Structure 1
Amino acid sequence: MPDIDNPYGTFARYSADLSLFLLVADCGQLSRAAELAGLSQPRLSQRMKSLEEALSRVLLRRERRGVTLTAAGQELRAALSPHLAEAAAGFARFQRPAGRRTVVIETDLAFAGLRFLPVFPSLCAAFPGLGISLLTRQMPEADPGPDVDLMIRMEPRRDESPGECCLFPERVLAVCSPGFLAAHPGLASPGQLKDLPLIELTATGSPPWFTWSSWLAGLGPGTRGSGDRLSFNSYDHVIQAAEKGLGVALGWRGLIDSRLETGALVPALPAELESPRGYMLRMLARQPGDELRAVYDWIRRAFGGAGLSPRG
């Protein structure tokens, strides 16, 4: 049967390298991705080159400070990321022995995709006898129900307690691609955004994070953008659109730091706002066991130091 009629057979040939490609895309660095995958950096680099040759597409730009995605790489990541992440979590649940203790973590899509998934293999490796599941929603409920053990959610910041801490505060700046900034030189004040395309994350109701309206209002009365608005229902797509040079996006410190470090994104303005909110980590059980406390402490330590890259 031809490959076009046998998508499972076709996918099987590339599945391992596609998973590694997503890990590289999330990390923005071959060295970090190789460490998480348990491979040497030269071996991982060779597998990425082999994948590109097999697909006849250039997926990665190899730069001095890391790697960025080409347009083809961004397209492939957008097509695969949500589905492979869900498949990996489902397979982990299937592998779990009957009766094995499970810790369920719920968070939003942006935090999961940009910060948590790159360190998730290290978290699982730290607790080999424990099942760990990750549930994601665009806007998790404050009270998710009895099945969720740990919640990571954008909320008003509170003082640290034995079962709650702030992983990092909400600090937001306007970001764009280097090419977009070069095409619009001299950006220095929010008022200059009024005729530029602004990329935003769609959300129902009043989301517990900065929107373009609230961010611009926080910079001063009468400050607003009036140019085109490009809306996406995934923050990952917002960032990809900004990297492609389609406009200016809001960038959350702690989520896009790797993009700023590699130069895939640059600040469009010097202004940066911090809110009283932050990504709060909470234990939901009233009497958490030792295993749950250990997972909570691992995550707290991994993201300790607001805005720093997590340590595996």
Structure 2
Amino acid sequence: MADRRLDLGWVRVFDAVGRLGSLTAAAQELGLSQPAVSYTVRVLEEQLGTALLERGHRGSTLSPAGERLHRAASAAVAELDAGARAIRRMSRRPVVRLFTDYGFASFWMMPRVAQFRRVHPETEVHIIASAAADPGADEAEDVAVLFGTRSDFGAGAIQLFEECVYPVCSPQFAARHGLLDAPRLLANLPLLHLESTPQPRWFSWRDWFAAMPVTREAGPSDLSLNTYGLVVQAAIADQGVALGWAGLIDGAIADGTLVAVGPPLSRGDSGYWVKPGPEPSAPVQDLINWIIQRGGVDRGGFPEGLTLPSGFT
């Protein structure tokens, strides 16, 4: 009997009995009847030739032999469950989670994600976008693309493109107000603002006018919106002039949906950064490398052919 191998069907049952301290509770957790659990324990005691439970009026507790067997059963269950999870992951397509803000997700990542799928069809990308993507947040994602300055990120972050903004509006709005010939006129026109904190991390219209320099106060026809996607949609809909972020707005400039109507304002230590998560897997590293490579090919900047207008020196 000492050399007889045990039927392992009892392992999870005995783990639940020892962990919960109750035959009834173990039966409820496992979806079994209480007599079935009690029978399993009795058969196990017969195989081992010793009592595993000390039965009393108030219930049962583990005997010294039962405590020793429970430690082994608990460790075995944990290892078997971990192995099962690993096997299930092997049978599924790898999933990479990308955390970013709505602007980058909508205007940069989504138009290009099909290109990544063609190169890595075996990898599934989950884009998790948030209006409050904070560079200081400790997100538990595989990779993040966030906006901020170099001091916001650790040594492992890589700058995708620097912050560069310039005024944009619809071609119809620009023609109607003569902005292509005299961009200084936009100081008197409705502006579209991206809502932010009192000390925004990105350029605002106040920064742009101060750098030109042009004096301009907020007008009653200005419009503030809480996401960059809404700002761009409002500009396309002739609602006013927005600040276009190079790298995000390039597609709309290229297809003529929006036109640039003023000079750029930029700073090299600010922009979008690729921030890998801890211990990136091979599929995660593939996505990181692809984003950085694609960012180098499609690096945003001030549209060619648009020179600094007179009066904005």
Same fold (TM over 0.5): yes
Match of 1:300 among 292, 300, 303: 292
Equivalent-residue separation in structure 2 for 1:104 and 1:242 (angstroms): 31
- Contact persistence 1:167–1:279 (CA under 8 A): yes
Q: 1:128 to 1:98 in 2, by over 3 A?
A: farther
- Contact persistence 1:168–1:278 (CA under 8 A): yes
**Per-residue deviation, 1:185:** 1.4
Deviations 1:260-294 (A, max 9, x none): 1121111122x111123111111121x33333222
With the length of structure 2 as denominator, give the TM-score of the two structures.
0.59
**Matched letter for residue 156 of structure 1:** T
Which residue in the other structure is 2:193 paired with?
A: 200
Q: 1:223 to 1:188 in 2, by over 3 A?
A: farther
Which residue in the other structure is 2:138 paired with?
A: 145
Q: Give ranges in structure 2 of 5+ residues lacking alignment.
A: 1-86, 302-313
Q: 1:298 to 1:161 in 2, by over 3 A?
A: farther
Which residue in the other structure is 2:240 paired with?
A: 247
Equivalent-residue separation in structure 2 for 1:126 and 1:186 (angstroms): 42
Q: Give ranges in structure 1 of 5+ residues lacking alignment.
A: 1-96
- Contact persistence 2:179–2:185 (CA under 8 A): no
Between 294-303 and 137-146, report the one with greater CA deviation. Answer: 137-146
**Per-residue deviation, 1:297:** 0.6
Q: 1:102 to 1:163 in 2, by over 3 A?
A: farther
**Matched letter for residue 275 of structure 2:** R
Which residue in the other structure is 1:113 paired with?
A: 106
Deviations 1:77-124 (A, max 9, x none): xxxxxxxxxxxxxxxxxxxx9524432111110111011011123323
Which residue in the other structure is 2:69 paired with?
A: none
Which residue in the other structure is 1:49 paired with?
A: none
What does 1:1-312 align with in structure 2 at a 5 Å threshold?
Answer: 98-99=88-89, 100=92, 101-145=94-138, 147-157=140-150, 163-185=156-178, 191-220=184-213, 223-227=215-219, 228-269=221-262, 271-275=263-267, 276-285=269-278, 287-305=279-297, 306-307=299-300
Equivalent-residue separation in structure 2 for 1:184 and 1:163 (angstroms): 46
Q: 1:146 to 1:202 in 2, by over 3 A?
A: closer
Q: Choose 1 or 2 for highest CA Rg.
A: 2
**Matched letter for residue 129 of structure 2:** T
**Per-residue deviation, 1:187:** 5.7
Equivalent-residue separation in structure 2 for 1:260 and 1:186 (angstroms): 16
With the length of structure 1 as denominator, give the TM-score of the two structures.
0.60
- Contact persistence 1:173–1:273 (CA under 8 A): yes
- Contact persistence 1:194–1:224 (CA under 8 A): yes
Aligned-residue CA RMSD (Å):
2.7
- Contact persistence 2:183–2:261 (CA under 8 A): no
Equivalent-residue separation in structure 1 for 2:137 and 2:117 (angstroms): 22
**Matched letter for residue 293 of structure 1:** Q
Secondary structure (helix, strand or coil) at the match of 1:303 reads helix
Equivalent-residue separation in structure 2 for 1:118 and 1:187 (angstroms): 28
Equivalent-residue separation in structure 2 for 1:300 and 1:150 (angstroms): 12
